[in-house]
Structure 1
Amino acid sequence: MLPLLQSTLVLFGVLAAGQTALTPQDDQTILGSSRWQRPDTGVGHFSEWSRHMKKHFWEDWQNGKSSDWVMVMGNEGGDLDSMTSALTWAYHLTHATQNTSSPLKAIALLQTPSDQLDLRPENKLALQYAHMSAEHRDLLNINELPEDVETLSIKLKGIVLVDHPEPLRKWQDANIMSIFDHHVDVGAAPEASPRVFETVASCTTIVARQMLDELEQLPEEYHMPHELLKLILSAIALDSDALNPEKSTDIDRQTSERVLARSHWADRKLDEVMDDLDGKLGDAKKDLDQFALRDLLRRDWKAAFVDTPSPRTPTVHLGFSSIPISVNEQIQRTEWQEVFNWFVVHAAWTAERSIDISVSMSKHKVKVHDEAGVLIKKKKIREIVLVVRDDIRVNDKQADELFKVAFDAIEGDEQLAVKPRHDVGKLGKRQYIWTTECATCSRKYVKPIIEAAVKAWE
C-alpha cells in the first residue's frame, strides 16, 4: 500500500500546484525515473536548437550576460518571410562561428506578441511542417523579453534587421550589425555588414543566399537541418506565388534551387515542390473566416514614429494595417454590420496602440463581365482607409492639418489614381475611404507616400 499511497500523494501535489494532470504513461515521470516531455514538443535538430537558444538566452540574461547575444529580428507584422529570415540568420550566425575564436550567440526575436501569432494560419502550418513545438514555444516573442527593450537593446552585442529597412524606435540605440531587406533603403546603419537591399520576392531569398555563400566558404560545413530548409522554401514559395515570373526574380529561383539541392526533396522538381508549398500555405493564409475585425486589423500591423519639422508636434505615430478582404466584408464582421461600427472598432485598436494617423489597406477581386454577361476576368481592387485622431499627440487643429497632408498625398499620386468609395458621405470627421485599381499599390507603396508627407508637415 505504501508505494501506491506515495504515488497518490505525489500526483495530488502536482494537481494542487495547478499543473496539468498527467496521463498513465507519465507514471515514470511522477516517480522521478525519467524526464517528462509535453507531447506537443517539436522534434528534430532545428526545434531542439531553437528551444535551447531560447533557454540559454534567458539563463544568460539572469546571469547578467546579455552582452554575449545578437538578436535577429524582422518587422512587427510577423509574416512567414520575416520569421523565417530571422530564424535562418540566427541559426547561421551561431553555427558558422562556433569553431572560431569569436563564437556568436544568436537568437531570432519575433516582434509580434504571442497572442497575435495564431492570426497567421500560414505561419502555424509552416512551423508544423518544420516539426516545431506547438504554440510557438520554440520561438522568442517580444512579450517574452525579460527586460524593457530600450534598456536591453544597449546591453546586447548587437541586432540584425531582416525584412525591415530600419529599427523600430525602441531599438534605435542598439548596435546594428547587419541588414537584409527587399524594401526601400532608407539609409539606416550605413556601417552594417553585410548590408543588403535587393528587389526580390522574399527577404528569405537574400538571407538564404548569403547563408549558403558563407557556408560554402567554411573549412567544414555545419549541419543544415531539413526542417529549416523546408521553412526557407515555404517562405519563398508563398511570397513568390510559387516562383511566378511576374512576382519573382532569377535570384529567387536560383536560391531556391540551391536550398532544394540540400534538402530531403532533392530528387523532386523545384516547381513541383514550390507549387505544393504555395498551394497549402496559400490556402491557410486565406483561411480568415474565424477572425473578427479587431483581429484582422492587428494581424498584419506595422507602426512607425515619424519626426516632423513642426515644433508643435515633433513626433507623429503612424500605423498601417493590411487586410486581404474587402471593407464590405470587414464591416460584416462587426456587431452592427454598419460602416460606423468599423470605425468604432478601428478607433479602439488605434487608441490602444497610441496611433495618430492610421492607414488600412485592403484588397479583393471583382468579376468583370461583357455585355452578354460572360465572365471576362477578375479585377483586383484595393481600398485605402485614412483616419487621423486628435486625442493623443495632436490637437483638433493639428489633426485637421495632418489629415489634409495625408489626404492630398494620396489623392495626388498618379499611380494610385484613387476614387472616393461610394459611402464616404456617411463617414465622420477625418475619416475617408478610397478605391484604386492599381494592383501593385500595396502597403509597401503607400506607406512611404504617407511618411514623406508627414515628414514635410510644418
Structure 2
Amino acid sequence: MRLPSRRVAIPLTGFLVVSVVVLGSTMISGIRTHLKSKILPYLKAPLSSVSTITPIVSLTEPAIISANMSALSTFFANNKKAFLDDLSSNRGEGWTIVMGNTAGDLDSCASALAHSYLSTILDHKRTVALIQTPRSGLALRPENLLAFDYARLNKNNSDLLTIDDLTAAIKLEELRSSYTLVDGNVLPPNFPNDPSADRVNAIFDHHVDEHAHPKADPRIIHPAGSCASIVANYFQPRLPPSPALGDAITDVYLLLLSAIMIDTNGLKDNGKTTPHDASAAEYLYSHTRFGALTVAGGEPSKDHMTLYDLATLLVDAKRDVAHLSGRELLERDYKSFVWKNSKGEDIRVGLSTVPMGLKHWIERDGKDKFWADQYAWIKVSNIDILGVLTTFRTRTKNKHKREMLIVFPQGEGVADAPTGLELKLYTGIEGNPNLGAEPKDIPGIEGRRARAWEQTEKQANRKQISPAIQAIIEAS
C-alpha cells in the first residue's frame, strides 16, 4: 500500500485540529449560554460560606462586587438585580419570593433574608427575599438597621429588595412567582394566588395557624419566641460544621441571632422563650464573631459580645423612637387584617405596636394632634378599626407596661353610646381574661368612638390580641 505524502498528511492533520478547536469553542459557548440562562442569574455573588461550593460569577455580565461590600451584601445585591432583570421577560416565573409579614419587624426581615440565602446555596433554588416595608420606612426601625449593620449589609440598604422596588418593576397581579411565607402563614391579599393552584410552597411561622395554604411543604407552624428560631432549626442539620468567621453564612447567623435576641429579650423572657429559641441561639451564637472562640487558647474573639449585651443594644435601639412623629409611630410596626363578620362583610382592621406610652405620647404632641394622627392613619390605611398596642417601660420605676387603644372613624359631633360591633368589641376585649384589659381614661377620649385599656397581662401582645379581635368580629 502506498502511504500518503507529507504534503497531504500535514494539511489533513491541521484541518482536524482546527475542526476540534471550533467544535470545542462552540460547545463551550453553548454551555456558557445554558449556565447563564439557567443558573447564573441568581448565583452571581461569591458563595464562600460552604466549603463544598465553588464561588460562581456571571460569565458574560459583570456582577455587583465592591471592595466595600461584604460577601453577604454582594449576594443580596446580585440576587436582587437578577430578579428585577428577569421580571421584564419572565414576570418572576421560576423564582420563589420569601416574605415576612407587613409589619416589617426584625424577625420578618431576618427570617426572609436568611431563608433566601440558605435556600439558594443549599437547595440551588432561585429565591429572593422581599422586605414588606417601603424603602422610606426602613429608617423607622433603628433596631433593624443595627442588626443589618452587625451582618455587614450595605449601610444604604441598596442590597435589599423592598416592596416599592417590586411594585415599581411590575404590577403584583402580573407576578408568576411562587412564595415562601415566614413570620406569617397567610399570603397578603395584594399578591396573586389561585387557591386551586396555590403558589405558596413553604411556610415557617410562630403565630396562630389560620389554616391557609394546606399544600405548602414544609409547613412548619408552632409556638416559638421568634420565627428566626424555626428557620435556623430547619436548616441547621445541613449547615457547615465550622464556617470561617467572615464568611457570608456567619453574617446570616448574626441576622437570625439578632432577631431571636430582640424577640426573647436575650432568652430572658420566660413568657416567650421556648426550647426552640434556646437551641437555635446556642448554635448560631457559637458560629458568629460575637460568640466564637479564637483558635489560640480558646480565648474570645476580638469582636466578642455576650448575648445579654447584644439583646440590650437591640432593645435599646427599638425603644429609640422619641424623634418619630405620631404618624411614623403608627406606621413603623403596623399590620392590617381583613376579617368577615357573620354576614360575610369585610371588616378591615389595623394594629400598630408602639413603644411609647399613651400618656407620654399625648403630653408630647398634645391631645388634638394625637387624635388627628389616629384619624388620619385610619383614612390613609382605609380601615374600619384601628388598634394601638403600646409596650413601654415607665420613666420613673422602669416597669414594663402594655396598653390598648381601639379607635373607630369619628363622625360629626359627639359620638353616641356604643352599639353594634363597637359595643361587642369593647365587651369582648374586657371579658377576655387572657388580655387583662382594664379601662383607662386618657385625655381627649370623651365623646369619641374609642376606648383605652391598661393590660395586666404583660405577655398579651399582637400575636394574642389579633386572634381575639378576629373571633369577636367573626361572631358579630
| TM-score grouping bracket, smaller chain normalisation | 0.7 to 0.9
Question: Displacement, 1:400?
Answer: 4.7
> 2 CA distance for matches of 1:344 and 1:117?
24
Equivalent in 258, 282, 304 of residue 315 of structure 2 = 282
In the alignment, residue 75 of structure 2 is paired with which amino acid? W
Report SS of the residue matched to 1:297: helix
Report SS of the residue matched to 1:193: coil
> 2 CA distance for matches of 1:126 and 1:348?
31
Tell me which structure has the larger Cα radius of gyration: 2
Aligned counterpart, 1:207: 231
Question: Displacement, 1:117?
Answer: 0.9
Question: Displacement, 1:426?
Answer: 4.1
Question: Displacement, 1:38?
Answer: 11
Aligned counterpart, 2:327: 294
Question: Displacement, 1:96?
Answer: 1.4
- Indicate whether 1:243 and 2:243 are aligned: no
Deviations 1:66-104 (A, max 9, x none): 111100000111111110000111111111123xxxxx2
Aligned counterpart, 1:121: 142
> 1 CA distance for matches of 2:207 and 2:372?
32
RMSD: 2.8
Question: Displacement, 1:378?
Answer: 5.3
Report SS of the residue matched to 2:386: strand
Equivalent in 375, 380, 385 of residue 352 of structure 1 = 380
Whether the aligned pair in 2 keeps the contact of 1:76 and 1:302 (CA below 8 Å) is yes
Whether the aligned pair in 1 keeps the contact of 2:71 and 2:248 (CA below 8 Å) is no
Whether the aligned pair in 1 keeps the contact of 2:338 and 2:346 (CA below 8 Å) is yes
> 2 CA distance for matches of 1:243 and 1:443?
19
- Indicate whether 1:441 and 2:460 are aligned: yes
- Indicate whether 1:234 and 2:258 are aligned: yes
> 2 CA distance for matches of 1:63 and 1:49?
22
Q: How does 1:169-208 map to 2 (within 5 A)?
A: 169-171=189-191, 173=193, 175-208=199-232
Question: Displacement, 1:291?
Answer: 0.7
Deviations 1:43-85 (A, max 9, x none): 2110000000100001111222511110000011111111000
Report SS of the residue matched to 2:452: strand
Between 302-311 and 353-362, report the one with greater CA deviation: 302-311
> 2 CA distance for matches of 1:279 and 1:429?
39
Aligned counterpart, 2:18: none
Deviations 1:168-201 (A, max 9, x none): 2223616111111111111111111111112211
Q: 1:402 to 1:430 in 2, by over 3 A?
A: same
Question: Displacement, 1:389?
Answer: 2.4
Q: How does 1:5-404 map to 2 (within 5 A)?
A: 43-98=69-124, 104-145=125-166, 146-152=169-175, 155-156=176-177, 158-171=178-191, 173=193, 175-215=199-239, 225-244=249-268, 246=270, 247-264=272-289, 265-267=291-293, 268=300, 273-310=306-343, 314-334=345-365, 337-338=366-367, 340-366=368-394, 379-389=399-409, 400-404=419-423
Aligned counterpart, 1:30: none
Q: 1:426 to 1:81 in 2, by over 3 A?
A: closer
Aligned counterpart, 2:32: none
Aligned counterpart, 1:21: none
In the alignment, residue 276 of structure 1 is paired with which amino acid? D
Report SS of the residue matched to 2:156: helix
> 1 CA distance for matches of 2:279 and 2:395?
36
Question: Displacement, 1:308?
Answer: 2.4
Name the TM-score, length of structure 1 as normaliser: 0.79
Report SS of the residue matched to 1:171: coil
Name structure 1 gaps, 5 residues minimum. Answer: 1-34, 99-103, 218-222, 369-376
> 1 CA distance for matches of 2:347 and 2:81?
37
Q: 1:168 to 1:427 in 2, by over 3 A?
A: farther
In the alignment, residue 380 of structure 1 is paired with which amino acid? H
Name the TM-score, length of structure 2 as normaliser: 0.76
Over the matched positions of the two proteins, sequence identity in percent amounts to: 31
Aligned counterpart, 1:26: none
Question: Displacement, 1:262?
Answer: 3.2
Report SS of the residue matched to 1:346: helix
In the alignment, residue 280 of structure 2 is paired with which amino acid? T
In the alignment, residue 132 of structure 2 is paired with which amino acid? Q
